């Protein structure tokens, strides 16, 4: 018999759970602002430092955004994975994306809804628009991949894929790497994405898997040609 350590949750954790429940229940919608810290403290019967501690937990999970002098806003983002010490290199990101996004694509081919197909078409059009701009942000590219992860109907896959994209965008190493790629005119291939979409429209898991692998292979080759494969 193994005894478990009795550890009561700290107050800030309880408060954070309560506040995230307000968001989950739709009481405070994306874009809306929380009551001020002082008001929340009063309503919940806790101190302002405790509210601030709870807000830190919510902030780093990504579901709120804190703006000094303005307020605390619900981002509308799903809670994301978070790591403080990011030492993941760009090729490691590509390698794990090759593994996970290919299979996510195959699962999506079986499980995708018509709504999600329509969303993918929209994202593809946005990518076409983005490509005309000089310093596009690849928001549409991320959206495209995020919809596929969502269509896999596995929330762990969804969380991990979005974390990888966030990692890719936040990492100093990765962003300077991506900026160099952009300057050299290397863009995510629209043709690759069109093939992915076609495979999903045909609900063909094998073709979807192959199309996504091909796409990430291309991205990896482009990166390797730029930096060399050891980066």
Partner DNA sequence: CCCTGTCAATTGGTAATACCAATATAGTTT
Partner DNA sequence: AAACTATATTGGTATTACCAATTGACAGGG
Q: Residue 45: name its binding partner from DNA, a second copy, none (Cβ under 5 to 8 Å by kind).
A: DNA
**Contact with a second copy (CB under 8 A) among 46, 75, 77, 89:** 89
Looking at the Cβ atoms of 1 and 6, the one nearer to DNA is 6
Residue 167: partners with Cβ closer than 8 Å, 6 or more residues away: 83, 86, 88, 93, 174
**Contact call for residue 103 and a second copy (CB under 8 A):** yes
* Helix %, strand %, coil % of the chain (to 5): 65, 5, 30
Closest CA to 144 of 75, 97, 91: 97
- Helix ranges restricted to H, 80-171: 90-111, 114-131, 139-151, 155-170
Place of tokens 């974390």: 163
Q: Residue 69: name its binding partner from a second copy, DNA, none (Cβ under 5 to 8 Å by kind).
A: DNA
Q: What angle do CA 91, 219, 135 make, to 5 degrees?
A: 100
**Contact call for residue 74 and DNA (CB under 7 A):** no
- Region of 31-39, 114-122, 160-168, 180-188 interacting with a second copy (CB under 8 A): 160-168
**Contact call for residue 45 and a second copy (CB under 8 A):** no
d(CA 96, CA 75): 27
Looking at the Cβ atoms of 35 and 89, the one nearer to DNA is 35
User: What is residue 124's three-state secondary structure?
Assistant: helix
**Contact call for residue 95 and a second copy (CB under 8 A):** yes
Residue numbers at the binding site for a second copy (CB under 8 A)? 1-2, 12, 16-17, 20, 24, 49, 52-53, 56-58, 60-61, 63, 78-85, 87-89, 92-93, 95-96, 99-100, 103-104, 107, 134-135, 137, 154-157, 159-160, 163-164, 167
């Amino acid at each position: 018999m193994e005894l478990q350590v009795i550890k009561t949750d700290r107050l800030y954790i309880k408060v954070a759970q309560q506040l995230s429940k307000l968001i989950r229940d739709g009481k405070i919608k994306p874009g809306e602002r929380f009551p001020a810290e002082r008001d929340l403290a009063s309503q919940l019967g806790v101190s302002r430092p405790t509210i601030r501690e709870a807000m830190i937990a919510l902030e780093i999970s990504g579901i709120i955004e804190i703006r000094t002098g303005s307020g605390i806003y619900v981002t509308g983002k799903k809670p994301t994975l978070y790591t403080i010490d990011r030492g993941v290199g760009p090729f490691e990101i590509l390698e794990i994306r090759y593994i996970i996004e290919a299979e996510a694509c195959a699962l999506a081919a079986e499980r995708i809804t018509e709504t999600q197909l329509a969303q993918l078409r929209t994202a593809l059009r946005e990518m076409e628009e983005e490509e005309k701009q000089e310093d596009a942000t690849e928001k549409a590219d991320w959206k495209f991949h995020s919809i596929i992860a969502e269509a896999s109907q596995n929330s762990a896959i969804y969380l991990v894929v979005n974390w990888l994209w966030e990692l890719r965008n936040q990492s100093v190493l990765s962003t300077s790497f991506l900026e160099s790629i952009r300057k050299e005119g290397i863009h995510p291939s629209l043709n690759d994405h069109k093939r992915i979409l076609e495979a999903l429209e045909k609900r063909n898991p094998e073709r979807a898997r192959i199309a996504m692998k091909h796409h990430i292979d291309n991205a990896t080759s482009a990166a390797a040609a730029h930096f060399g494969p050891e980066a």
